Structure formats: C-alpha cells, structure tokens
C-alpha cells in the first residue's frame, strides 16, 4: 500500500510504501513500488525490521528503484500512513527537480562517534542550497553517547543546517542494530542524507513529561551512568523521589518497566529541556544506567507522564513542525518516536498517535520508526533526545 503528495508548481513529490510480507524480497519490492510514484526520485529512506533478510530486502528495493540514493535503518517498529507496524518495511521516496539529496556513511571506528558524525555531515557540501535544507541522520543506537554524533555533525555544518533523525533499533533486543546505505547493510555506523527543498522544512520536538519534585545535582557520572545525586547513591535518590512498587526495587525487568514512565530531565544552557531514558539500575552499587550522557555537575529532574500528556506532546510537535510552512500543506512528514513512548501508549495509543500526525498534515503521507533515541538540533550544539517525538515536515 502507498500514499503520495505532489506539488505541481515545483514538481516535488513525497510518497510512502509499506509491506508486512515476511518474505524480504517480496516486501522490499512491494514497498518500493508503492513509494516510487514518479520516475525522478532523488532519495529513498527505508525503515525495516531487523528480522528480515536485509541483504535481500535491499537488493529488491534497489532493483525496483534502479539505484536511487538510499539510507535507512532497522527499527523497534515502523510507522506508515496507514498506521504503526512491526516486522515490516516502510520505504519513503522524495522526488522531482525541486529536491536535491546527497548521502554518506561512516563506521564508528574505535567508538569515535564524533568523527563519524563529522564524516557523514560532509555530504552537505554536495547538496545544492535551496529554500529548506536538513541533514537526516540514522545511527547505531547502541554505540555510545549519541550526542557525540550530533557534535561531530555540527562541527562541519554549523548552525546553517538543522539536524534530525533517530537511532536504529532491534525490537528491544538491545544486541545489534543495522544501518543501510545504497546497496550496503552496515553495523556500528552512522548514515546520513542531506536534503534540500524548494519548499520550507519544519521540525517539531516535544516529549510530554512533567517534572516531579525539586531538582537534584548530578554529583558523579561517567560513560552514560549516574553514580550519585546530591552526593547520595543515585538509585536511592530515584526511589525516594518516585516511590516505585516493591518489585521494581529488586527486579531489573520490573525496574525498567517502571523507569519507562520516569525518565530524567536535563536543563540545557539554551533553556531547552532534554530527556534521558533510565534504562536500568545496578542494585549493588546504586547507579543508574542511561542511554546517553548525563553531565556531571548539572541539574536533573525526575519526570513522569501518561497517555494524555504524551499525546498532547504529539499534537504540539506536529504544530511546531508545520509553523515554518506558513499555512501551506506539507508534501509529507517523518516521525521519529521513542520506543519508550510506545510502551506507555500501548497498541491502541500508538494507532491514535499516528492518526493524529496524519490528521495534522492534512492527509499527507507519513513515514517513520520507533527509535532508541531521537535527533533534533534546531539551535545550539545539543540535539540528542530520549523518550521524545521528533516530527519533520517536508514542504
């Protein structure tokens, strides 16, 4: 199945194809065929389950497209115009002379995420400037502090190019994620596409979490782990502020389920509030494990949310993304949605969320995936988020 929007004035188009067929070749061919609504595609973006044979999937897509520039990644669930899905593939095609695109990939050699981000950002130089330009980044969400990818990309493109994207997933197995670039299936990598458009491009970033109680000082942290807050064991402070059920105090799986609804909030110098997912706890040393850096010496808040607050953030992110379009309808939208938000909303809730995104775009096609972290740098050097929805509206 597919959906598309075409701007007849500048001949730009945006189309989405989706398939949940378990045969990788059949799925890749069907999704690509539905997405390739025109014969002048400039870029393909692929979101797919790691359970598919990715080599076969990619070959089928490239055979159908004739080798159009492509980036993509594995997911913790896919998003298409028709709704959320699992174990499938979503292909997005952007085409027409009103778009330009260039792509790149880089291996995170020796754990140097900043260097990988900088190398991929070099593709911006090959993409002509137009009214709107963005660098779309898809990264290995298990490779370390993803803020370093953002810093590396920012060091190359500066404030003139916004950064957006997400971290690849593996359906919460937390073992190995995949990145796709042209005809290559990669691991431990960053892939990116510089996209410029004759129309406006807007980004919305909202999370839907509320602060609980007073702030705490991060007194010891390193390597994405928080050891002490206010000079006490971080886990003890976390328990004191949030009073979790008894099983979350002793069982790692129960703790993670509770933590999905209680992340940490960090205040940035820019005034923005970033969220950090608390992915686990060490009951022996009392430390908290986070998906990204929690800077030592900074202030943090414990946070909470529910379905109502998360969906309200969905509406706000869409509204923010559409603002730069000044009332014009987008050709399409990308949604990068944290897997933790999916855990709160449940199956019915994520269907409602995708419906809200589609409604806000006026029926334009929607594509995206459930991530291990979100990228949205609209100002300053910071731009990595957890438990957040990022919406990219393409005009």
In percent, the amount of the chain with pLDDT more than 90 equals 77
Instruction: Count how many domains the chain has.
Output: 2
- As a three-state string, the secondary structure of 63-84 is HHHCCCCEEEEECCCEEECCEE
Last residue of a domain, one of 268, 303, 338: 303
Total Cβ atoms within 10 A of residue 83:
16
Lowest mean pLDDT among 120-129, 255-264, 355-364: 255-264
pLDDT tens, residue by residue, 276-300: 889 889 999 999 998 788 999 999 9
Q: Are residues 89 and 180 in the same domain?
A: yes
Q: Are residues 197 and 318 in the same domain?
A: yes
Burial classification of residue 213, based on how many CB atoms lie within 10 Å of its CB (0-12 exposed, 13-18 middle, 19 or more buried): exposed
- Residue 342: per-residue pLDDT: 85
Which among 347, 336, 346, 349 has a CA at the least distance from the CA of 385?
Answer: 336
Q: Are residues 275 and 379 in the same domain?
A: no
Residue labelled with tokens 């897997």? 339
Mean pLDDT of 268-272: 60
Pairing of strands 2-7, 12-19: antiparallel
Q: Are 139 and 71 in contact (CB under 8 A)?
A: no
Dihedral sign for Cα 116, 95, 320, 141, please.
negative
Q: Are residues 21 and 168 in the same domain?
A: yes
Q: What is the mean pLDDT of the chain?
A: 93
**Can you give the residue range of the structural domain that contains 245?**
210-303
Q: Are residues 235 and 168 in the same domain?
A: no
Last residue of a domain, one of 303, 335, 368: 303
- Residue 97: per-residue pLDDT: 94
- Residue 28: per-residue pLDDT: 98
Model confidence at 15: pLDDT above 80: yes
Nearest 5°: CA angle at 15, between 12 and 19?
165
pLDDT tens, residue by residue, 89-112: 999 999 999 999 999 999 998 889
Model confidence at 82: pLDDT above 60: yes
Q: Are residues 297 and 336 in the same domain?
A: no
Q: Are residues 313 and 291 in the same domain?
A: no
Q: How far apart are CA 369 and CA 372, in angstroms?
A: 10
Model confidence at 8: pLDDT above 60: no
Overall residue count recorded for the chain in this entry: 395
Q: Are residues 8 and 84 in the same domain?
A: yes
Record the pTM. 0.90
Model confidence at 255: pLDDT above 90: yes
Q: How far apart are CA 73 and CA 369, in angstroms?
A: 9
Q: Are residues 132 and 32 in the same domain?
A: yes
Q: How far apart are CA 83 and CA 25, in angstroms?
A: 22
Cα 248 to Cα 83, 109, 279, 307, 332: the distances in Å are 32, 37, 13, 21, 41
pLDDT tens, residue by residue, 224-236: 899 999 999 999 9
Which among 69, 66, 61, 78 has a CA at the least distance from the CA of 100?
Answer: 69
Q: Are residues 237 and 131 in the same domain?
A: no
Q: How far apart are CA 152 and CA 143, in angstroms?
A: 15
Mean pLDDT of 123-152: 93
Lowest mean pLDDT among 69-73, 185-189, 205-209: 205-209
Name 115's Cβ contacts closer than 8 Å, sequence gap at least 6. Answer: 106, 109, 152
Last residue of a domain, one of 303, 337, 362: 303
Q: Are residues 123 and 62 in the same domain?
A: yes
- Residue 270: per-residue pLDDT: 55
Q: Are 203 and 321 in contact (CB under 8 A)?
A: yes
Q: Are residues 54 and 144 in the same domain?
A: yes
């Amino acid at each position: 199945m597919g959906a598309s929007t075409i701007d007849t004035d500048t001949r730009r188009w945006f189309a989405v194809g989706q398939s949940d067929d378990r045969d990788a070749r059949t799925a890749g061919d069907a999704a690509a065929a539905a997405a390739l609504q025109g014969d002048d595609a400039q870029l393909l973006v692929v979101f797919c389950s790691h359970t598919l044979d990715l080599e076969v999937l990619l070959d089928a897509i490239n055979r159908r497209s004739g080798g159009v520039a492509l980036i993509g990644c594995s997911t913790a669930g896919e998003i298409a115009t028709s709704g959320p899905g699992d174990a499938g593939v979503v292909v997005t095609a952007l085409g027409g002379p009103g778009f330009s695109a260039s792509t790149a990939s880089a291996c995170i050699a020796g754990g140097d995420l900043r260097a990988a981000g900088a190398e991929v950002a070099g593709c911006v130089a090959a993409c002509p400037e137009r009214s709107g330009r963005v660098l779309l980044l898809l990264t290995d969400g298990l490779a370390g502090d993803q803020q370093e990818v953002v810093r590396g990309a920012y060091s190359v493109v500066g404030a003139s190019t916004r950064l957006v994207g997400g971290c690849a997933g593996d359906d919460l197995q937390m073992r190995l994620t995949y990145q796709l670039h042209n005809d290559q299936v990669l691991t431990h990598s960053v892939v990116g596409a510089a996209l410029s458009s004759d129309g406006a491009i807007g980004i919305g970033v909202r999370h839907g979490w509320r602060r609980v109680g007073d702030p705490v000082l991060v007194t010891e942290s390193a390597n994405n782990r928080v050891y002490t807050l206010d000079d006490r064991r971080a886990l003890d402070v976390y328990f004191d502020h949030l009073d979790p059920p008894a099983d979350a105090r002793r069982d790692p799986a129960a703790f993670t389920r509770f933590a999905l609804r209680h992340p940490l909030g960090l205040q940035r110098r820019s005034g923005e509030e970033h969220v950090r997912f608390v992915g686990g706890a060490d009951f022996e040393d009392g430390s908290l494990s986070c998906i990204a850096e929690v800077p030592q010496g900074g202030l943090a808040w414990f946070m909470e949310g529910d379905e109502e607050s998360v969906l309200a953030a969905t509406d706000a992110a869409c509204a923010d993304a559409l603002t730069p379009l000044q009332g014009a309808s987008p050709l399409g939208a990308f949604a990068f949605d944290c897997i933790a938000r999916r855990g709160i909303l449940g199956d019915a809730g994520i269907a409602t969320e995708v419906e809200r995104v589609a409604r806000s775009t006026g029926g334009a096609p929607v594509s995206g995936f459930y991530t291990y972290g979100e990228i949205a740098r609209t100002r300053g050097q910071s731009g990595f988020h957890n438990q957040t929805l990022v919406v990219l509206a393409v005009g």
